[in-house]
């Protein structure tokens, strides 16, 4: 820890000249940077700032304030729910002076808790927006499919004890791709009926990790309804359990009735894997 602290102090000391050359006389010139962040969502109330509960955005902003000496608003690509994890969450923030991009993760991580890590950083265009410029996201839902519940994998999987029929799940998953009305796979937020349910899903894939009890459901698309990936996962679990047949998936899209699809799976199994931009930024 002492070596890390010394490295961070050297990084910050080296920015004094850079700061003077990039800040105008009014002191309001900023540099926009993008952050690639990984976090264990178990002990967070989601990404977005909360009035009382701990959030990922909160700890990122606290670290930025310590490193850059001033407050700055972090804008995230996605407001992941409480308990949801991320391996490739992207945010942007405007900072008052420049630090070499490869040094930013080291500086920020020195002030972050162990369940959050900035993996990469880079300077982006002033108009770049982590949320509105995203053209797609990839999620993975992990299921621990064994009779005995897990211990070491309990924080990033959902336990399903009965043996699942993976071939049927794969058949059903293929039927979920395309541009369709996903009303049967989305939860309304406070009864909101104004959200467009038409979404484009490019990939739904089910794989068994070799030599493991863990099954992964990968979902990739342009955008998603609230809880959509967790409901897709719950529906595929129902298929694996024989409660829904693969051929009935087509009927779910036709009937558009949320009550006919599977349950919303626990947040613990869901991870935001990657956010896509054109051109790519990470």
Q: Give me the active site residues, please.
A: 81
Buried/exposed 177-203: b ≥16 CB within 10 Å, e otherwise: beebebbbbbeeeeeeeeeebebebee
Q: Which burial class, exposed, middle or buried, applies to 216 when counting CB atoms under 10 A from its CB (0-12, 13-18, 19+)?
A: middle
Measured distance CA(83)–CA(39) in Å, rounded = 10
Measured distance CA(47)–CA(57) in Å, rounded = 5
Give the 3-state secondary structure of residue 73.
coil
Concatenated DSSP letters for 106-159?
HHHHTTS-TTEEEEEEEE--TT--TTTT--EEEEEEEEE-SSSPPSTTTTS-EE
Beta strands in the chain (DSSP E): 31-39, 75-76, 85-95, 116-123, 136-144, 158-159, 178-181, 198-208, 214-221, 270-276
Q: Which residues contact 203 (CB under 8 A, 6 or more apart)?
A: 138, 177, 218, 219, 220, 221
Measured distance CA(95)–CA(240) in Å, rounded = 49
Q: Which burial class, exposed, middle or buried, applies to 210 when counting CB atoms under 10 A from its CB (0-12, 13-18, 19+)?
A: exposed
Measured distance CA(255)–CA(261) in Å, rounded = 10
């Amino acid at each position: 820890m002492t070596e890390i602290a010394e490295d961070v102090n050297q990084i910050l000391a080296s920015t004094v000249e850079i700061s003077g050359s990039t800040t105008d006389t009014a002191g309001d010139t900023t540099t926009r940077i993008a952050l690639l962040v990984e976090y264990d969502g178990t002990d967070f109330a989601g990404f977005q700032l909360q009035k009382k509960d701990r959030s990922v955005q909160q700890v990122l902003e606290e670290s930025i304030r310590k490193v850059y000496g001033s407050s700055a608003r972090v804008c995230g690509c996605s407001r992941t729910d409480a308990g949801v994890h991320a391996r490739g969450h992207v945010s942007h923030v405007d900072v008052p002076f420049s630090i070499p991009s490869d040094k930013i993760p080291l500086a920020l991580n020195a002030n972050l808790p162990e369940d959050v890590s900035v993996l990469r950083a880079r300077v982006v265009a002033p108009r770049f927006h982590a949320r509105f410029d995203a053209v797609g996201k990839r999620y993975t839902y992990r299921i621990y499919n064994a009779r005995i519940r897990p211990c070491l994998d309990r924080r990033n999987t959902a336990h399903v004890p009965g043996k699942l029929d993976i071939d049927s799940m794969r058949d059903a998953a293929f039927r979920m791709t395309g541009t369709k009305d996903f009303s049967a796979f989305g939860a309304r937020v406070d009864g909101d009926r104004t959200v467009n349910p038409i979404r484009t899903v490019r990939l739904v894939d089910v794989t068994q990790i070799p030599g493991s009890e863990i099954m992964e459901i990968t979902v990739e698309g342009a955008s998603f309804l609230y809880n959509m990936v967790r409901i897709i996962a719950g529906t595929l679990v129902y298929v694996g359990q024989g409660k829904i047949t693969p051929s009935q998936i087509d009927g779910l899209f036709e009937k558009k009735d949320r009550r006919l699809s599977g349950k919303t799976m626990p947040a613990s199994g869901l991870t935001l894997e990657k956010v896509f931009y054109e051109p790519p930024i990470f």
